[in-house]
Structure 1
């Protein structure tokens, strides 16, 4: 296709995984934002890739840190990062900010949570998060919490009454309700309860690979039917062997488009733009990290010592251009590709943030 479309990563990372600080963080079960390296290479690679904006994970996900206090601290950390790199980064709180980032050649940074535990028992905290610029809140990580089930909990776990209160508050404050890691019944309950369209920002299709982190056609269809958004990730769960390839990403996108329609599907890679340089050394560290996650009970089914948490032939600064090439090869039109690479997320954000 001629020209580069707007590229929005519905869940990704800004980090140089090759920096010593980040390598230490990768070995940590509960890394903090301060441990990652948003260095010159991170920024140069992100810009070279064509990335327009990315939803990053900040705040409490799991572990022993005090969820609310840690989350507020992480917001402070990211505010300082964006301020320090104001020529390269722009904090996104509106769709207009995404368009400004594209116009200025900067990377838009969307603040998002992958666990709503920081809400505690006080839904009033959601107003604080909204005021601080958070725009995406995932209800649960892999474990169950007070709101409902994660992907590692029994699939029949329901959305709780407190979960419904939290969704109401998220709707009131125009924040995205993200159901990526939610268990199936919690996801279905949440879609029906929400007054505003919801998202599954990073997932795969269970019809192609039957793993709990992937979403059933029923979940995908219901989210889309209510005006929501589904992002396909670049993760091992896209292939039953755990060794996902670029072709698997394409197949899951194709299936999601078939189920949801072309106006509701995008990408949420769940990874950085900068590629790991030494894969052999990384594999040696990976086994220990996966074992730690399994021992702590926070891993997802399909995580193994030999499964890389990314798609090995769809990474680095050319990952988005390569995906576009493969979608073109599949016969997708320029207009459909433009929607998948970013416009669908922007249109969805308009429906939520500006509601």
Structure 2
């Protein structure tokens, strides 16, 4: 099997957590996991290093729930600053593209601070500068539902950006933060990609041409984002197959389709999962139905989420997930240069286009 450690591996959306730990949402069946409840323990770090991971964009701050979004987000940033401080020999907070290279050189895991819902901005555009100063580098405009910025992928109106949403995109451009259109509705994605002065990203998605589900992006969306110098990350999620039982082969096919639509310089990976695998899948099944039901009741689930489908690809998880994907891409006929781009160098190049030096 090919070695991931020979490549820069950048996960455009993932988690650093041991899902087997008692506090983890994976083990406890929680709807919302606070950063306080993450378990960044010895196994988490050892598995991340063993996988060859260079850096990962994590989700922090408000995504859903009853918390006050702005204050909760500030607290989560503090929590993650503490986690990185406590594990300074293993983790590096990423503020610049140069930090991605530095993480690789020093054998640390780069941690990119990102949001999966921009609602914490509230009605105060100056908060964008605050988040920038605190080290946030990726801002996803919406989660599945609509917010005051735009419509998510499950919002039936598909209205595009609001007037304030257009101001948010301009503000993110001014601060040189990534505008992430994962989870967005189609018109929100297309409008944001068109009006943004800088390239935008879809950090974790699939291709709707292969699996017609709202969480996946149409070829029009993919092509527009790529044509303007953006980035598209393919996830390891059930939405890659209409059955909900996605496999490693599905991940490969979605990557291949994205490369065909976007070009080999614009596509990467955003797994939307951890490196550390869940050890007891039978026990996990017992909590999964409750978790899916809670998401549906809260109105935040996406079409394709079901109690009998895992929110990950069973045969592409754990410490060998990146090596296995590399092997499958080689088997598909991809050469080493193209694979290196997909596994991390395309995200690095995108970061160099967006973030301040």
Calculate the TM-score normalised by the size of structure 1: 0.98
Contact 1:25 1:36 in 2 (8 A): no
**Which of 26, 29, 32 is residue 27 of structure 1 equivalent to?**
29
Deviation at 1:23, TM superposition (A): 4.8
Contact 1:155 1:185 in 2 (8 A): no
The 1:231–1:24 alpha-carbon spacing in structure 2 relative to 1, beyond 3 Å, is: closer
The 5-angstrom pairing of residues 163-178 of structure 1 reads 163-178=165-180
The 1:26–1:99 alpha-carbon spacing in structure 2 relative to 1, beyond 3 Å, is: farther
Q: Which runs of 5+ in 2 are unaligned?
A: none
In 1, the alpha carbon distance for the partners of 2:330 and 2:238 equals: 23
The 5-angstrom pairing of residues 66-77 of structure 1 reads 66-77=68-79
| SS in structure 1 at match of 2:326 | helix
2:338 corresponds in structure 1 to 336
Contact 2:316 2:325 in 1 (8 A): yes
1:6 corresponds in structure 2 to 8
The 5-angstrom pairing of residues 110-149 of structure 1 reads 110-149=112-151
**Aligned length in residues:** 355
1:240 corresponds in structure 2 to 242
1:90 corresponds in structure 2 to 92
Deviation at 1:154, TM superposition (A): 2.1
Alignment of 1:298 onto 2:300: yes
**1:10-35 residue CA offsets vs partner (Å, 9 max, x unmatched):** 00000000011215775221210010
1:352 corresponds in structure 2 to 354
1:18 corresponds in structure 2 to 20
Q: Which runs of 5+ in 1 are unaligned?
A: none
In 1, the alpha carbon distance for the partners of 2:273 and 2:221 equals: 24
Contact 2:26 2:284 in 1 (8 A): no
Contact 1:208 1:252 in 2 (8 A): yes
1:152 corresponds in structure 2 to 154
In 1, the alpha carbon distance for the partners of 2:188 and 2:40 equals: 35
Contact 1:155 1:184 in 2 (8 A): no
**Which of 311, 315, 318 is residue 316 of structure 1 equivalent to?**
318
Contact 1:206 1:215 in 2 (8 A): yes
Contact 2:25 2:31 in 1 (8 A): no
1:190 corresponds in structure 2 to 192
2:289 corresponds in structure 1 to 287
Deviation at 1:254, TM superposition (A): 0.1
In 1, the alpha carbon distance for the partners of 2:157 and 2:83 equals: 38
**Which of 223, 226, 249 is residue 225 of structure 2 equivalent to?**
223
| SS in structure 2 at match of 1:100 | helix
Alignment of 1:104 onto 2:106: yes
Contact 1:25 1:35 in 2 (8 A): no
1:80 corresponds in structure 2 to 82
**1:313-355 residue CA offsets vs partner (Å, 9 max, x unmatched):** 0000000000000000000000000000000000000000038
Deviation at 1:210, TM superposition (A): 0.1
In 1, the alpha carbon distance for the partners of 2:40 and 2:85 equals: 12
The 1:321–1:83 alpha-carbon spacing in structure 2 relative to 1, beyond 3 Å, is: same
Q: CA RMSD in A?
A: 1.1
Contact 1:205 1:238 in 2 (8 A): yes
Calculate the TM-score normalised by the size of structure 2: 0.98
2:59 corresponds in structure 1 to 57
Contact 2:25 2:33 in 1 (8 A): no
